Amino acid sequence: MQLSFNLDTKDDTPIILLNQTKKPVELKEIPDSYIVTDVETTGLNPYHDIIIELCALKIIENKIVDEFSTLIKPDRIIPDFIVNLTGITNEEALNGKTKRKALIDYCNFLGTFPIVGHNVKFDLSFINSALEKEFGQKLKNDFLDTLFFARKKYTNLTSHKLVNIAKFLNIDTKNAHRALKDCKMTFEIIQDMKKG
């Protein structure tokens, strides 16, 4: 099921954006093969703020088989509260990929796999906003929000933030609020959810 997508010869728009025409569907069951995605951003508004880190894990038959991780060179100063939250400094981010290159690489990593994340609509709003600005396209991949399942499974928790659930399950939270670590915590939580 591992798919590889080359770039279109006319321009650098990823084929995954050009070839899918269906509407994305929100899944109600956790699949066995999917991509866990997380972003770190300069704020909460996908039309005014930007992605500074984009990461993903490729899961096939409930096992991590590959990972994607990149910082994205910002076009503005990263606010101090984001630096303090994520640990991503302005100097570090300037060594990241350009937004266009990061998005191309991400889409080619993603392929047609379903996208899974904790409060994933937040991540998708930023990814799709960036894709629209760069390529005039949005992702068509099906998606699943683990927050929906967490609220149903962990009913004794008062907060269903990713870090809170991870702590409840004794999952290591060191380096939380870095996108790759958040992807890995999400995957571990999914493994617990799949136990029933």
Q: What secondary structure letter does DSSP report for 49?
A: S
pLDDT tens digits for range 62-112: 999 999 999 999 999 999 999 999 999 999 999 999 999 999 999 999 999
pTM: 0.92
Mean pLDDT to the nearest integer, 108-124: 97
pLDDT tens digits for range 163-176: 999 999 999 999 99
Closest CA to 120 of 32, 34, 6, 19: 34
Show contacts of 75-80: CB within 8 Å, 24+ apart: 75/50, 75/99, 76/42, 76/50, 78/42, 78/52, 79/42, 79/43
- pLDDT class of 8 with cuts at 50, 70, 90: very low
- Does residue 28 register a pLDDT over 70? yes
- Asked if residue 28 lies in contact with residue 37, where contact means CB atoms within 8 angstroms, the answer is no
- Does residue 54 register a pLDDT over 50? yes
pLDDT at 11: 67
Planar angle of CA 41, 182, 186, nearest 5 degrees: 130
Q: What is the DSSP string of 63-86?
A: EEEEEEEEEB--SSPPPHHHHHHH
Rg of the chain on CA atoms, in Å: 16
